[in-house]
Structure formats: structure tokens, C-alpha cells
Amino acid sequence: MKLYLRSTFIHNVAYPGLVVLITLSALCAIFPELTNNILTHIQNWIYANLSWSYILIVSFFLIFLFILAFSKIGSIRLGADNSAPQYSFFSWIAMLFAAGMGIGLMYFGVAEPMSHYVNPALPSIVNKAKEAQLATFFHWGLHAWAVFCVMGLILAYFSFRYKLPLAIRSGLYPILGERIKGKIGDVVDIFALVSTFFGIATSLGFGVVQLNAGLVHLGILTESSFLFQSIIIIIVSSLAILSAVSGVGNGVKRLSEINLSMAVVLLLFMLFLGPTTFLLSAFSEGIGYYINQFADLTFNTFAFERDGRAWFTTWTVMYWAWWISWAPFVGLFIARISKGRTIREYILAVLLVPSVFIFLWMTVFGNGAIWFDRHDAAGSLSAIAHNADVLLFSFFEQFPLATPLCVLALMMIAVFFITSADSGILVMDSIASGNKPNSPRWQIAFWGVLLALISMALLYVGGLKSLQTMTLVSALPFGAIMVLLCFCLWKALRADETYFSSKLPYGSRNWNGEHWHERLQQILTFSQKKDIKRFFAERVRPAFEELQAEFAKNNIDAHIYEGKNGPLSIELQIPHDKIWNYRYGVTTETQTISDYIAEEDNTPDVETDKQYVPVTYYTDGRTGNNIQYLTKEEIIADVLREYERYISLVSDEENAMLFIDKKKYRQ
């Protein structure tokens, strides 16, 4: 019996998380109106006073991702350097797409463009259809996917590259170190667990209501009621649990591929049965208009158009809050399926592929509905723009084969419903168990049952609205946490790039293994100031003195200076009248020794947390190399290499002007 009821729960995350989400759900269920009024008041205050912060946060995510994608960092893999993607490109795109926005596309594909068309952002807008398409592209395009992309990248990188648990706390490792295993990490994961649960519960509410409305529209059900909605939740949740228990590679992957295939089929039907030429033209023009208005859209807060503030907070700010609140769920799921891809491939694919598909989808459904409303429907679609539950099916009535289209759409909504739920169940179990493998089936099923029960309870008492508002309110603090996680990611990536691009120590590149016993002792010793002083006295100064004497034999005056570039420094200088003096110097650089090597037993002994290394500098101000392993003869050779470079550059007429000392030349 004990073996059967074993769990992989992390007690400090799973149980407090369950207490929090059950308590908040109970408040929304017992006091739905009071809770909703309080939360709405908080939400309105945030939207009125801090709406600009949502804009800056999401804009920062998008800019940050483009910087990573087009820098050298983009070639780093999410995993070992030789790792390969776990899933094919089609399967990968299908899964992240289904988890990210599946139900939303079915619910808002017609409803949002039509809403912007009927009630535009500003009364002065002339071309309402074109602006409606632009606003929809903006809300569902690159900015939305940037939020999910950032979260998924952070989780995938630290999990697959650093071998840390696939958990949000792992993203704080660069600043917290091993403390992520403590209370701070627990609180972050509890927040992610609760946010994921409520985000799925409220979003799936759209799917239940639309499924019920579609079945009524087809005459399969007689009315939209709690009884029928509960039956739908039970059926869909049961299928989602079966899919989740089957695992990502079986149930989730196959359902996602099926759903994306059905979406393509439905999209093509709508495109070729509708006003095809107009839709393709609108798609092309819409892409161009979106690119042209991109910067203005990104940072616009309607500060100078007060008439548009209500629209701005109702739509743009609400969407940015919604995407941020969904980031833990979608990000964790995307991370799970993205191992082995390069950062550049990951970012560009996650940003561009779903966005372009969504642009085409919103054009065909949204602009198609507006076209029919202007021509054949005589305004009947715009008249019900406020009723998103039935708007999609009313749109289908404008086409031949309306009933088969409605059936196909209902099948898609159901499968999107299932794929969102099963991926959410797996993500919640992953958070609660610290991504431990082989969770028992009852544990995975537990999250599906709990999701169904709480969703039905809140649907019955009308508490889903309160839960949705709570989720949106929590988005702002989590957005700030995500910005901090971006800083941690940048810090880790810079260290990663430095490590993998670093070359052999300068003194070891041409070393032939001679005096290897002495070299080993040098490697095992972290130099202190006394060691640097001895290095200068026994190797650097004798090398400079021999060179000084040899230069003198060739009528070249060379000088040796100490302390010109810091207390522990020595320099060989050959002065000139009009051009820069030739300088080859050695200064001392202080480096901090990491705690990791200091705390290990089987590593060199560490006396202090600092070490001092001799680093060269040259005529043109370049910082050179660490020469702590060079012998006197090798230092002489290094000086002559640099001097040869200096002479050859000055001798070339094209380069000589770069070496003119302007101060001396004016004299």
C-alpha cells in the first residue's frame, strides 16, 4: 500500500501550494462578489497607475531576446554542446503552439478583430478594419510570444546546461547559488504552482463555455447550463488525465500534432471558401503595417490620447498581464520540449513561427468576418460582437458546408482544451515534484481531478471572474521577478560564453613540456603579492635588462620603469620624438577565487580569496596576456614579438598615422 501511494512531491512546495490555491479558491467560491470587488479595485488601481510598467517589461523581454539571438551567445545549446533536439521541428512547434494559445485562437479569432472594428481604440480612426487587424496582430504576435519565450529559455538553459531542476527557482542560481534550495526557492515555486493552476482554470473556462455554446448551436445540446458545462469538464479532464499519464512523447505530442493539422485544414477551408483574394491581400498588407508601426505599438501608452486609455487598459495591459500570468505554465512546458536546440534557433522559432501562423489565422477569421459583415451579413456579425461564445459559429453560417465547419471547430476546441489541460497537469506535477522523474500515475491524475473540481465549483458560484482577476493582479510582481531572472540568465550566459570561448593560457600555447614539475607547482599555487614581486625580480627585470643592453648595442635607448601602471608593475620603454613610445609593461591584476574551488577538498589549497597574476600591456593601450608561466627567455621572445609588430606597423605608410603622438607633434 505504501508503495502504491508513494509520491515525488517536494513537501515544502506541494503542500503549502495546495493550501494556498484551495484557500484562494474557497474565498472566490464563498464570497465571489466581495472578492471580485476587492480584486477589481486593486486591478483598476494598477492599470491606472502602473500600466506603463507592463509596456516596459514586455518590451524589455522582446529586445533582450533579439540581443541574445543575434549575438555570439545565440550559438550556445540548451544542453550539452553535442546534444540534439528531442523532437522533430513539426512536433516541437505543434506542442508549444497547442499549449500556448490554442483555445484563445478559437475563442478570440473572430471576436477580437470584430470588437476592435466595432469599438476602436480612438473615435478618430478612419480605417477601422485595418486598425482592428493591427491591434490583434500586436496582442497575439511577437510581444506575447516573447513573454513565453523568455520564461522557457531561462528554465531550459539552467535545467539542461547547468543540470539544475526544471523549476523557476533554478533561474536565480547566479545570484543565490545553493540558497535556491531554501525558503526563497520554495516561495518562488509555490507562486509558480498557484499561478499555473489558476491560469489554466480560468483560461479553460473560455473553452467550456464556447464548447457548450457550439453544441447548442448544432442542436446537440438544448441549452448552456452548469450541468452541461460540468459534463464537458469531466469528459475533457478525463481525456487530459489519460494523455498526461501517457507522457509528453505519447499523448501530448500526438494530440498536439493532430490539433495543429486540424487547424491548418480549417484555416485552408476558410481561406478558399471565403474572399480569398481579399484575405491574402489583407494578410500581406497587415504584415507590412505591423512592421511599419512596430516601434510605436511597442512603447505606446496612450499618454497623449486620453480617449484611448480605457481601450488600452482593457485590451493591451490586460493581455500583457495575461501572458505574464501564463508564463510559468507555458514557459515550463516549452522548456521541457526544447532540449538540444541552440538559443538562436529556439528564440527565432518560438517568436516567428507561431506569430506568422497567428497573423494568418487572425486575418482569415477576423478580416473574413468583417468582410462578410460589410457585404453578405448586413451587419449581423458586428451586432453580436459582444457575444464571443457564439460569434465564431455565426461566422461559419456565412459559408457553404457550415455544419461540417462547426463540427471541425468543436473538435479543435475540445482537443485544444485537452492539450492545454494535459500539458498543464504535467507542468504542475513537475513544479510540485521538483521535476523528479517517474511520478506515480495517481499523482499526475490528482492534479487533473483537482483542476476539474475547482473549475466546476467556481463555475457554479460564478467565482471564475474573481480567479481571473486575481491571476491578472499577480502578473505585475511576477513580471518583476522575470526581469530579475533575465539578469541572472545574462550573467550565466556571459560566463558560459567566456568559458567556452577561452583559449589555452598564453604561456601554455607553445610549451613543449619542458620543466613540467615546476609548471605543475605553478598551476597548483594561487599567486600572492610576494609571488608577483619574486616573479618580477627573478624573471621580468632580468629579461628587460638583457634587452636594454642589447638595444644599447644597436644605438637604441631603452628605459626600465617601475610603478608606472600601479604599485606592482614594471615597464620597458623606448622613447620617440613624434610617434608613440614603444611600451611593453607588466602590471598586476587581482582576481577573486570562487568559493566552489575553495570549498573542495581535492583542489589546490587556497590561502585567501584573492590571487594576483602578471598581465602585459602595450604601446596602444591594449591589455595583453597572463605571463605567469613564462620563463625569462620566453618573456624576451614575447617582448621582441610585440616590438616586431610595432615596427612593422609604423613602417607601413597606411598605418603610421595611427601611431603619431598628437601632443608631441603639436610641439
Q: Which of 498, 529, 555 is the last residue of a domain?
A: 498
What is the secondary structure of 397-448 as a DSSP string? TTSTTHHHHHHHHHHHHHHHHHHHHHHHHHHHHHHHHTT-S---HHHHHHHH
CA distances from 246 to 238, 332, 339, 565 (A): 13, 18, 20, 66
Beta-carbon contacts of 278 under 8 Å, excluding residues fewer than 6 positions away, are 367, 371
Give the separation between CA 370 and CA 375, rounded to whole angstroms.
9
Same domain flag for 300 and 425: yes
What are the residue ranges in the chain where pLDDT is below 70?
Answer: 1-5, 97-103, 206, 247-253, 377, 463, 498-515, 517, 519, 522, 596, 599, 620-623, 653-667
Contact 330, 152 (CB under 8 A): yes
Residue 2 lies in a domain: no
Taking a C-beta distance cutoff of 8 angstroms, is the pair 422, 244 a contact?
A: yes
> Are residues 352 and 389 located together in one domain of the fold?
yes
Say how far apart CA 616 and CA 587 lie, in whole Å: 6
Q: Judge whether 507 lies within some domain.
A: no
Same domain, 451 and 553: no
549 plus 402 within the same structural domain = no
**Strands 582-592, 559-562: parallel, antiparallel or unpaired by DSSP?**
unpaired
Which residues lie across from 342 on neighbouring strands?
Answer: 77
Report the number of distinct structural domains present in the chain.
2
Residues 378 and 467 in one domain: yes
In whole angstroms, how far apart are CA 377 and each of 217, 221, 368, 381?
18, 26, 11, 7
Of 99, 129, 409, 83, the C-alpha closest to 257 is: 99
DSSP lists the bridge partners of residue 298 as: none
Residue with cell 477589481: 40
Residues 469, 564 within the same domain = no
Q: Say yes or no: 328 and 452 in one domain.
A: yes
Q: Find residue 572's DSSP bridge partners.
A: 560, 584
Are 343 and 470 part of one and the same domain? Answer: yes
In this structure, the answer to whether residues 72 and 200 fall within a common structural domain is yes
Domain boundary, last residue among 445, 463, 498: 498
Per-residue model confidence (pLDDT) at position 504: 47
Question: Is 510 domain-assigned?
Answer: no
- Give a yes or no: residue 1 inside a domain: no
Contact call for residues 438 and 340 (beta carbons, < 8 A):
no
| Site of grid cell 448552456 | 224
DSSP secondary structure code for residue 123 in this structure: T
Instruction: Decide: residue 575, CB within 10 A, 0-12 exposed, 13-18 middle, 19+ buried.
Output: exposed
Q: Tell me the residue range of the domain where 347 lies.
A: 11-498
Q: Say whether both 464 and 521 belong to one domain.
A: no
In this structure, is residue 506 part of a structural domain?
no
Q: Does any domain span residue 248?
A: yes
> For the stretch 602-631, what's the b/e string if a residue is b when 16 or more beta carbons lie within 10 angstroms of its beta carbon?
eeeebeeeebbbbbbbbbeeeebbebbbbb
CA distances from 165 to 76, 191, 431, 616, 660 (A): 19, 16, 9, 42, 57
CA distance linking residue 165 with residue 70, whole number of Å: 28
Domain shared by 631 and 566, yes or no: yes
- Output the pLDDT for position 3: 44
Instruction: Determine the length of the chain.
Output: 667
Using DSSP's 3-state secondary structure scheme, residue 162 falls into: coil
CATH number of the domain that residue 16 is part of: 1.20.1740
User: Which of 498, 531, 561 is at the close of a domain?
Assistant: 498
CB neighbour class for 428 (10 Å; exposed up to 12, middle 13-18, buried from 19): buried
Q: What is the pTM of this model?
A: 0.76
What strand order describes the sheet that includes 559-562?
Answer: 559-562, 569-574, 582-592, 610-618, 623-626
Same domain, 215 and 340: yes
Residue 427 lies in a domain: yes
Cα–Cα distance, 222 to 269 (Å, whole number): 28
Q: Is residue 249 part of a domain?
A: yes
Q: Strand, coil or helix: what is 221?
A: coil
